[in-house]
Amino acid sequence: MGSGQVVTVFGAYGHTGRFVVAELLERGFVPVLSGRDAEKLKALAASHPELDVRPASVDDPAALDHALAGATAVINCAGPFATTAAPVIEAALRAAIPYVDVAAEIEANVDTFEQFTDRARTAGAVIVPAMAFYGGLGDLLTTAAMGDWKAADEAHIAYGLSSWHPTAGTRAAGAVSRERRGDRRVRYTQGKLEYTQDAAPTLEWPFPDPMGPRSVIGEFSMADVVTVPSHLAIPEVRNYMTVVAARDLSASDTPAPSAVDDQGRSAQTFLVDVVVRSKGTERRAVARGQDIYAITAPLAVEAVDRILTGRTRTVGVASAGEIFDAADFLRALSAHLSLELRQ
């Protein structure tokens, strides 16, 4: 548990940031509330008068240094991460503390690996990008499904979402990603990221019970196409998304998520079905839970706890599956999701 350790949450007032703050408090950490909007921080602090509030802009290194002063780690929840990741990572390196973010943006995660891998490894620093539902959970499930395999021919990560009511942050990050890739689609094939303008295929995915077969958008690439290949020898990594969720995301009038329980979770449910194949043999990992934004909080906070207690396997920029014991990490989240490993 946190035992009073201080963790700065950048973007603490956002939808995911609030879940992260609550999870940190639940686990005995002391969050520092930080972010770019002083008024939103003030409003959040009204519910947590005991917590320190430190506004900071990503273009103000001194303010970022103040936000991280005395902290044992920082969790960046503020998108678009194309704008926030590098400045907050730089501040974490100056403070010599671990950095974790919840970025789902493919290009932003690529930037983190490309820009900071050498520096972080040399400094012995820990930087874990995409420690969230997208990027982190898929990578952990893929790594756990691999088991003792050193390589595989292909990995398929299918997202069975009952719905997807995107937050304002999700929409803003998506707009930045679309602009960066010129409205092209991205996929990971033949061992590299590839951009294409052809239409994504629609097919049926055989989700396990109780969901069953559902129509999905194929090559619906998420951050997994960055995190999984960063440490696993799999030349084909493919994502799939239920059609109903993809339609929710693309519709401009889909409302933001609304709480249905005392934890602030929405009614959205998810089933993540991961299949890895090697030389005709198949292995599978399945996770079920509620609310893709809410589950990001225990993922990120568990990561911080394991980093601070030395339960890691490497240093530098590393995805969840590389730096943590994937199966053990997932089992530690049993209060938040169910797990099946079929090997």
For 109-118, write each residue's pLDDT tens digit: 999 999 999 9
For residues 12-24, give the mean pLDDT: 98
For residues 130-142, give the mean pLDDT: 98
Separation CA 150–CA 159 (nearest Å): 25
What's the mean per-residue pLDDT of the chain? 97
Instruction: Output the six-digit token pair for 5.
Output: 């350790």
Question: For position 31, what pLDDT does the model report?
Answer: 98
CATH of 133-291+328-342 among 3.40.630.30, 3.40.50.720, 1.20.1730.10, 3.30.360.10 = 3.30.360.10
Decide: residue 37, CB within 10 A, 0-12 exposed, 13-18 middle, 19+ buried: middle
Question: For position 210, what pLDDT does the model report?
Answer: 87
The answer on pLDDT for 171 being more than 80 is yes
The answer on pLDDT for 3 being more than 90 is no
pLDDT band at 183 (very low <50, low <70, confident <90, very high): confident
Question: For position 343, what pLDDT does the model report?
Answer: 80
Separation CA 84–CA 57 (nearest Å): 9
Separation CA 142–CA 152 (nearest Å): 10
Name the nearest CA neighbour of 45 among 59, 60, 36, 34.
34
For residues 164-173, give the mean pLDDT: 96
Q: Residue ranges per domain, the chain?
A: 6-131+296-325, 133-291+328-342
Is pTM, for the whole model, over 0.85?
Answer: yes
Cis peptide before 80 (omega within 30 of 0): yes
- Whether 155 and 275 have beta carbons less than 8 Å apart is answered as yes
The CA-based angle 207-160-168, given to 5 degrees, is: 175
6-131+296-325: CATH topology: Rossmann fold (3.40.50)
